[in-house]
Structure 1
Amino acid sequence: MGQEIDHVIFTAAERTEFARRLAEETEALIEECTLSGTADDTRLLGLELETCLVDRETLRPAMCNQVFLSRLDSPLASAELARHNAEFNFAPLPVADAMLGRLHAALRHQYTEARRVAAELGSDIALCGILPTLEPAALTLANISPLNRYLALNRQVMQAHRGTAFGLEIKGRDHLVQPLDSVMMEAATTSLQIHLRLPAHEMRTAYNAAQLVSAPLMALCANSPLLFGHDLWAETRIPLFEQSVGLGGFAAAAHGPVRRVSFGSGYAKRSMLECFEENLAHYPVLLPILDDSGARYPHLRLHNGTIWRWNRPIVGFDEDGGVHLRLEHRTLPSGPSLIDMVANTALFVGLVRHYMDQDVEALEFARVRSNFYEAARYGLNARIDWLDGLRHPVCRLLKRTLLPAAANGLGRLGIDPDDRDRYLDVLERRLDSRQNGAVWQRRFVARYPGDLVALTAAMLEQQVSDTPVHLWE
């Protein structure tokens, strides 16, 4: 979905031809990846960070991303769905040595520069899974980023929903019912997306490990409890994003478990390539844009970009033209601070590496998926099933088992011990304080009921100082 397109209305002939090319590219990708050697030892990590632009006076959304991006003039920054959103990409780093510290420095540099440019527009940058001051009136088509790919996405989703009820219903501490007339509600969510590339022969076990560890990671890192003043899930981004698009697969599965935004349908049995086979078999094409530019796998990549698994494969290319797969992990919210996001990334990478060597499939996938939604809803109060066959309070599991496992995984990847310990210590202190971003927001609202502007101001102040969330008051 990051590529721009030149029109928004599609013919039946375009759909037929796109489907043909998609089938050909799926077969070709599987053949190319199967025939490629396994000598590759590349280990790289990259990030995408979605942010909110807010007015410095009102602390409400600032609809200025086009001017902001023009002035920032960075090839690593781009518009997101709504005009108050901007995304920042970070060049991939080798997974070794002091990678975490270098990542922190890159985040700090980009954040500082973005704030400088935003200030020229009377705005600021907020790092939050859901902006507390956001209101439904901000999420209308009048505020969609003026890019054809977003206009086309909205048109296609709304056509697919024609004649059916379409809306949000999220039951958490409060109960929110919100009718929808566009995909703009998706723009309420901002994420930190991790891209992990490992040697080709390790990607299947990495994908399965990522599925397993998503639940405890979510519980510890939750940062989005509030939507339109309603206290919902610890990580409300999850049901919000899933319902904002809310489409199933082909007709027989339209209201079943095969959804366009989902936790996925199972472990990878042979290869992560199975996701592309599933894309072809189970998901109708949303954006049948025909590409004759000579780019490699353009139709497969575009189609994959309209299927939002919380862990999904991404096709990339090496400098010599060779194809590779990387794992995109999408569960983490933006924020609460830069150091927290680096610590969250360290936990993900370390846990994935550790559990690549374990029999993660010993825990049936249905329970892994159930764990994920339990963690998203209840955060640090969740109880989840684990590989030992027992159900654990997630904080105890993290403290006794998962933080040591992450330390082991990072060590095996060659991360410098001082670098590793600096960021895992942030997580340990978060656990000891029992305060992640979601808990802090709820505690603030309990002290100052209804004052979401003050909440946002306090959040921004702590982000500027890069204070880890366990120290926020």
Structure 2
Amino acid sequence: MGFAPQDRVQYRHKVRHCLDAFAQMLDQGAFASRDGMTGLEIEINLIDADAGPAMRNAEVLARLDDPAFQTELGQFNLELNAPPRLIRGCGLADYEQALRDSLDRAAAKADCRLVMIGMLPTLTPADLVLDNLSANERYRLLNDEMAGARGEQFRVDIHGVERLQSVSDSITPEAACTSVQFHLQVPPDRFHRFWNASQAIAGPQVAIGANSPFLYGRRLWAETRIALFEQATDTRPDELKTQGVRPRVWFGERWITSVFDLFEENVTFFPPLLPILEQEDPFEVLRAGGVPHLGELRLHNGTVYRWNRPVYDITDGRPHLRVENRVLPSGPTLIDLLANAAFYFGVVRQLAEEERPIWSRLPFAAARDNFHAGARAGIEATMTWPGQGEIAVTDLVRSVLLPKAHAGLDLYGVDPSLRDRLLTVIDDRCRLARNGATWQTDYVRHAQGRGLTRPAALREMLHRYWTLQQTNTPVHTWPST
């Protein structure tokens, strides 16, 4: 399947048409105003007996026959979608149980291991080639369009504890990046508050949740996934970078005043990658009293990879808006993952409620710098915060953000004992300065100290990681040997 120039012209017109319809829906108050509904997606890696990637997701999905599991970009990836729910009461515990049940069923049927981790440390460049894309036509189309837009090889150059330079003819290296996404439904008139708050805390989030220190055998950033995702999907050759063209993996460049700002930026700044047209005329649907699908706008929005993405969706015949928080890696355990979720939902809710919002005091550039500092240094990062100046992220979380998380979860009506159980995981992680990234690097250092080569140490570490993941004990309690 290819796209003719006329397809792109028609698609651009249709996306603009959808954007105009979206604006009318906002003006007319067409959206569901209920807030507090949440969603959760986990990306999972498949590994073989030697701790290498198992290119078998099609086979595993056929065995599972479970719509909660779907393909992801690489043949060694799966995605698990939990049914949306409110977090009031024991909603977060219900998530934990539902995810545990799904993972247990999958483990019983799959004849390879399922691992929640930000980046498989045993991947090699030979694993991340075009032939190992999942068997889904849209992935191939996306690769062809992005590679065509780039016009040359994708280059990765990551300066971390060590340095990695590599090139690829395809976007397949993106498959190394496995994450968790938190979804939060919010009313349209308050969307900007929740998105701005999400941007403001992205740095602390990624710092305390970092779980991706190794790629291709090199120790790089605490959360190398951030750097790799930004570089492995960059469709801009050097001349477009110097002209100020925005990257498709984008933190953004300003605080917003409306959700419309984000959709309009996506349409204005980014050319379409997949100009697939639908028959729907959204204004005809609106005139008939219906809810338009806005397929072209949604597809285009899905090819702009904001770390906090706006989502338009329809549930039970009513349109709604969500913030999709995409900054965190997968794993290490379900209890760690749910602790990260509680921290995110709680802090963002409290920040969104405050009379003097954080985004009126924190420069946007500082929020962006905090994000990359957290990805580089992880739990050892230093950040800028209003009223605190330069502050260690662990101190920022413990003294400033955790009290806000408690208050925000109380506003959602989360059971106090569950609130305390999950946020104590975050507090202890910061108190001990131990997260998934530090555990991985400590284990590998000890293994190499015993005489193992780096590849052998990474394989042993990943086997041990998988074993400890099954215990569902927080990563800060894991032994490093």
TM band (smaller chain) = over 0.9
1:61 is paired with a residue whose SS is coil
Q: C-alpha displacement at 1:252, in angstroms?
A: 6.1
RMSD after superposition: 1.7
Take 1:40 and 1:126, find their aligned partners in 2: how far apart are those partners?
Answer: 37
**AA of the residue aligned to 2:262:** C
From the superposition, tell whether residues 177 and 255 of structure 1 become closer, same or farther in structure 2 (CA, over 3 Å). farther
- The list of structure 1 runs, each at least 4 consecutive aligned residues, that deviate by more than 3 angstroms after superposition, is 251-255
Q: Give, in whole Å, the separation in 2 of the partners of 1:292 and 1:37.
A: 22
State percent identity of aligned pairs: 38
SS in 2 for 1:323: strand
Corresponding residue to 1:338 among 334, 348, 363: 334
**Correspondence for 2:435:** 436
- Determine if the alignment matches structure 1 residue 103 to structure 2 residue 120: no
- Which of the numbers 469, 473, 478 marks the counterpart of 1:467? 473
Of the candidates 149, 155, 160, which is equivalent to residue 160 of structure 1?
A: 149
Aligned pair in 2 of structure 1 residues 253, 28: CA closer, same or farther (>3 Å)? farther
| 1:147 aligned residue | 136
- Render the CA deviation track for 1:17-51: whole Å, top value 9, x for unaligned: 11110000011111102211688233211011100
Cα distance change on mapping 1:40 and 1:469 into 2, 3 Å: same
Deviation at residue 367 of structure 1 after TM alignment: 0.8
CA distance in 2, matches of 1:253, 1:188: 24
Instruction: Select the residue among 267, 273, 292 that pairs with 2:255.
Output: 267
What TM-score do you get using the length of structure 2 for normalisation? 0.92
1:120-176 CA-partner distances (Å, limit 9, x unpaired)? xxx0101100011111111111111111111011101111111x4531000000010
Matched residues in 1 for 2:32 and 2:174: separation?
40
Flag the 1:11–1:149 CA change in 2: closer, same or farther, 3 A: same
What are the Cα deviations for residues 333-368 of structure 1, in whole angstroms up to 9, with x where unaligned? 000011000000000001101111242221110111
Matched residue, 1:348? 344
Report Cα offsets for 1:400-432 as digits up to 9, x if no partner. Answer: 111111111111111111110110011111112
String of CA shifts for 1:363-392, please: whole Å, max 9, x gaps.
110111011001110011111111226111
**What's 1:3 paired with?**
none
Contact preservation (8 Å) 1:248, 1:255: no
Distance in structure 2 (CA, Å) of the matches to 1:277 and 1:253: 21
User: Structure 1 regions of 5+ residues with no counterpart?
Assistant: 1-6
Whichever residue aligns with residue 127 of structure 2, its letter is A
Choose which of 3, 22, 44 in structure 2 pairs with 1:10. 3
Is residue 154–residue 233 contact of structure 2 (8 Å, CA) maintained in 1?
no
* Equivalent in the alignment of 1:360: 358
Q: Give the aligned partner of residue 425 of structure 1.
A: 424
Tell me the distance in 1 between the aligned counterparts of 2:69 and 2:34: 29
Distance in 1 between residues matched to 2:440 and 2:388, nearest whole Å: 34
Is the contact made by 1:266 and 1:365 (CA closer than 8 Å) also made in structure 2? yes
Work out whether 1:314 is the aligned partner of 2:311: yes
Q: Which amino acid aligns with 1:34?
A: D
Which residue does 2:263 correspond to in 1?
276
**Compared CA separation, residues 39 and 138, structure 1 to 2 (3 A):** closer
Across the two proteins, how many residue pairs are aligned to each other?
Answer: 459
How far apart are 1:322 and its partner, in Å?
A: 2.5
1:150-189 aligned at under 5 Å gives the runs 150-162=139-151, 164=152, 166-189=154-177
Aligned position for 1:199: 187
5+ residue gaps, structure 2, are: 282-291, 449-453
Matched residue SS, 1:465: coil
Q: Deviations over 1:257-308 (max 9, x none)?
A: 6210011121112x12211101111100011111226861000000011000
Task: Give 1:236's aligned residue.
Answer: 224
Taking the aligned partners of 1:260 and 1:405, their CA distance within structure 2 comes to 32
Partners of 2:30 and 2:420 lie apart in 1 by 35
